[in-house]
Amino acid sequence: MRYWSLAGAYILNNPFFTLVFDKLSESLLYDSHSINHARTMILPSRNGTEDVSEMVAEPNWQEVEEVIGFPCILKPVDGYAWQDVFKVTEPATLRGLYESLKDRRTMIVQQFISYVGYYRAFCVNARDVFIVRWTPQPFDRGEYALTSPGELGGVEDHIMQKTADLNAALGLDFNAVEWCITKDGTPVVIDSYNDVPDVRREKLPPAAYDWVVDRFCACVREKLGSGERNRIMRGFQPTTGTGAPPRSVLDAPPASDSGASSG
């Protein structure tokens, strides 16, 4: 996909941005957009096959307990689909899980957020947003439902705007951002990178499924005739041809700051 983007094609869901973001860097993105999110700390990985592994210090468990607290969520920094995700209620269990995972995964520990409502906000074209209630469960057991009128109260517009802002920053044309609402009515983002969201007809309410299909098709039609190109790293600019090899891009003069802006 990166080849075709460099050759001038527009790729839905920017293939270059997937190299940049993970669950830790996303927390910095939330801060820059004034979005509430769980407190997050990274735990060092210690690959026993590397000579430098003995130089990696153990986590400061007292600091983890003071900053994050219990219960907490332990998950991989680059995790996906509930793999190696744990709710941890006390320090000994957290240390044990870390010891079992540190040689193969880089883990983060996050504040556990108690909520009264959990939602997925489908976003198309970094502009159009549709919010559905979602019951999060592993192994494809999660369930969708339409929200009731007024259910989100005064935070609905906030969630829709921040969802669009996040998708624009992440370079995603199609995504689902997960939000929860706390007891005091505060919206908190939980996960902002679901670039292959579950949109099966048998899972989504009909109104939500029809909306997603309609907006996604409209997005494809809009991009097809727009001449728009993916934003990429500084110093590169997509070609305007219909399949020129990447070397023609590498030989081109560096793009200007305005053309390489990450927005």
State the architecture of 39-111 in CATH terms.
2-Layer Sandwich (3.30)
pLDDT value, residue 249: 31
Question: How many whole angstroms separate alpha carbon 75 and alpha carbon 67?
Answer: 17
pLDDT value, residue 80: 75
pLDDT value, residue 53: 54
pLDDT averaged per 10 residues in sequence order, the chain, 263 residues: 90 84 86 95 75 71 96 90 92 96 92 96 97 91 94 94 95 96 96 88 97 97 91 56 36 33 29
pLDDT tens per residue, range 97-138: 999 999 889 999 999 999 999 999 999 999 999 999 999 988
pLDDT value, residue 157: 96
Buried b (16+ CB within 10 A) or exposed e, 133-165: bbeeeeeeeeebeebeeeebeeebeebbebbbb
pLDDT value, residue 256: 34
pLDDT value, residue 233: 54
Domain(s) of CATH 3.30.470.20: residues in the chain: 17-21+114-224
Contact in structure between 130 and 206 (CB atoms under 8 Å)? no
Q: What does residue 106 show for φ and ψ, rounded to 5 degrees?
A: -95, 120
Domain 17-21+114-224: give its CATH code. 3.30.470.20
Question: How many whole angstroms separate alpha carbon 144 and alpha carbon 154?
Answer: 22
Question: How many whole angstroms separate alpha carbon 202 and alpha carbon 26?
Answer: 31
Domain(s) of CATH 3.30.1490.20: residues in the chain: 39-111
pTM more than 0.75: yes
pLDDT tens per residue, range 206-238: 999 999 999 999 999 999 989 899 987 554 445
